[in-house]
Structure 1
Amino acid sequence: MPRSTDVEDTLFPQATAQTPTLPRRRRAGWASYLQTTVAVGAIVLLGELVQPMLHAPSTALPFVLPVILAAVSFGWRTSMYAAVLGALAYDFFFTAPVFSLRMDSGADIWSLGLLLLVGAIVSTLAAQSRQRALDAERAAARAQALQDLADGLMHTRELGAVTAGAADALARIFQAPAVVLIQGTDRLRVAAKAGGAHLSGADMEAAAFAADSGLATRAGVYPADKAAYDFWPVRPDGGADAVLGVKLADGDRGRPKDAGRFIRIVGAYVDMALGGRP
């Protein structure tokens, strides 16, 4: 007779490995601004080399490249920083009087304004394209998490394996620590956890309230105002009650718009393992 852990390793291998994370928007930290500054500096050096062969207005065009790279790699804020920094560098190094931010030529002012306008447009379009790509990757990763859970459930209804798969699926979908709790004879017990989940006493009290009342709780909101996890009850027609918990680091901002749909799907799989009807 295979042990529960053997079943989990075979049918839910992702539940025993490090939980893969969904693609997350890369935050514009100091490193991103430093890299952008270096890119603008490289354009300045390139401009100094080719300036004798080009008109000054043409020298402004290469400064759009760091804007595009920053938008694709880091997002809108860093790309706007690249646009402003590029405009200042263009003014300081390539317009008369050189090595001064003062501008005497109307053509130079026009070139500078055009550079800022193009930079703003390019950064906005590139950032929107990057966001759509990230959203598509997140949707694909969440769909894969549900498919992995369904595939495992087709091979076993063993409670330990299914709850481990369910906790892992929740951790992958929400990109956050997740737990599955089962109602025992006298109290809730943790059946499975993923993503480095750890429950405090306040979390256990909130989970117990969700199980007893049949109502979902939200971290930081009464009666779970001291809890760090959101909890959703699962009440199958037969078998013990279960509660699903997820710790959302960003609060409401970290909650997918269709979070309830994911919870219902995962809860239905746990329901089936407990003997209820999906």
Structure 2
Amino acid sequence: MSTLRSPGEFELLPDPDTLTALQLFKAPMVVRYVLAVAMTVIATVVAVGLDNAVTIPNLSLVFVVPVVIAAVFFGLGPSLCAAVLGALSYNFFLTEPRFTLRVDDPASIWAIGLLFVVGLITSAVASTARRRADDAVLARRQAGIVRSYSRDIVAAGEPRAVFSRTANALETLFQVPVIVMLMSEPLGDFVERRGAIEPREVDIDAARSSLTTGAVSVADVYPFNGSRFDFWPVMTSVGNRAVIGLAFDPEERPPQPGTLVEIIASLLALALDRQHLRTGSDSVADGQGAS
């Protein structure tokens, strides 16, 4: 018999090691900038040491390394910070006159300017490539969760197990508070909740409006000011009325959450229809047995 998956079990479906860069990118902004500055300091120490030991014509390229690393692991902002600091450090420590930002040699001005431009271009290209790679990894992870969810609800023995699996899958996909309800008067028949946010009356009203209109109800939008959930209706062919609610942080709302939610909603609707057909078949079998 199938056991109920917890959100943690869903997270293990893809290889977590493939999300290392994504996890670094989600580090606090201050930490990312501090690490970018630290790498530039290290590059400066290395460049000054090499300059004292040997003659290297393109020593400025040492400062491109922290720019690339910062772009790949920390994002565009920290990478640009490393590019600016690298150009200033090269000017201050390695061009004549030393230990001043004044430049006497026109060739050094061109070298500093070229270092800055190369840093900007490298930063933009590396950051874009990293973001695309992270998006691909995240898409594979989400696809794995959806596949696992589709198998789990097929094996679910009762509606409450279906709703519980649905809530687990949504919490794993979006990492936000979740509510999944089978609506009736005056409250839901089934209410599966994940996270610390309890649905209030305005949230229930917003959920009912979503079911009535068949459209998504966005959080904290008139006439449901104060609602904390975005609601998606789940319409089945047999009249069951379910709704999915997600409480996104306004500052961290994903760009297009609806696509994934609609896939989950469609699978949930199919599962509820299957439960209804199974119940109907059992009722017919019981009636024939009684006769």
TM-score range normalised by the length of the shorter chain:
0.7 to 0.9
CA positional deviation for 1:79: 0.5
Equivalent residue, structure 2, for 1:4:
none
RMSD (Å), alpha carbons:
2.7
Equivalent residue, structure 2, for 1:95:
95
CA positional deviation for 1:116: 0.5
Equivalent residue, structure 2, for 1:12:
4
2:270 equivalent to 1:272: yes
2:148 equivalent to 1:148: yes
Instruction: Mark the CA change 1:200 to 1:190 in structure 2 (over 3 Å): closer, same or farther.
Output: farther
Q: Deviations over 1:9-40 (max 9, x none)?
A: x433134x477498564256111121122211
Moved over 6 A (4+): none
Q: Which amino acid in the other structure matches residue 65 of structure 2?
A: L
Structure 2: how far apart are the matches of 1:66 and 1:154? 50
Q: Deviations over 1:145-186 (max 9, x none)?
A: 211111112222421111111122222333322211112353
Equivalent residue, structure 2, for 1:210:
210
Greater displacement, 23-32 / 33-42: 23-32
The DSSP-based 3-state class of the residue aligned with 2:192 is strand
Listed as ranges, the gaps of 5+ residues in structure 1 are: 1-6
Q: Which amino acid in the other structure matches residue 219 of structure 2?
A: A
The DSSP-based 3-state class of the residue aligned with 1:275 is helix
Equivalent residue, structure 1, for 2:174:
174
Structure 2: how far apart are the matches of 1:268 and 1:49? 62
Pairing 1:101-140 to 2, within 5 Å after superposition: 101-140=101-140
Greater displacement, 42-51 / 189-198: 189-198
Structure 2: how far apart are the matches of 1:64 and 1:92? 16
Instruction: Mark the CA change 1:99 to 1:67 in structure 2 (over 3 Å): closer, same or farther.
Output: same
Q: Which amino acid in the other structure matches residue 261 of structure 2?
A: I
Q: Check conservation: 2:160, 2:190, Cα contact below 8 A.
A: no
Count of aligned pairs between the two proteins? 267
2:36 equivalent to 1:67: no
Give the structure-2-normalised TM-score.
0.81
CA positional deviation for 1:59: 2.3
Identity %: 30
Pairing 1:181-200 to 2, within 5 Å after superposition: 181-189=181-189, 191-200=191-200
Instruction: Mark the CA change 1:28 to 1:60 in structure 2 (over 3 Å): closer, same or farther.
Output: farther
CA positional deviation for 1:232: 1.2
Q: Deviations over 1:165-223 (max 9, x none)?
A: 11222223333222111123532255212354532332222113223443321112222
Q: Which amino acid in the other structure matches residue 254 of structure 1?
A: R
Q: Which amino acid in the other structure matches residue 193 of structure 2?
A: K
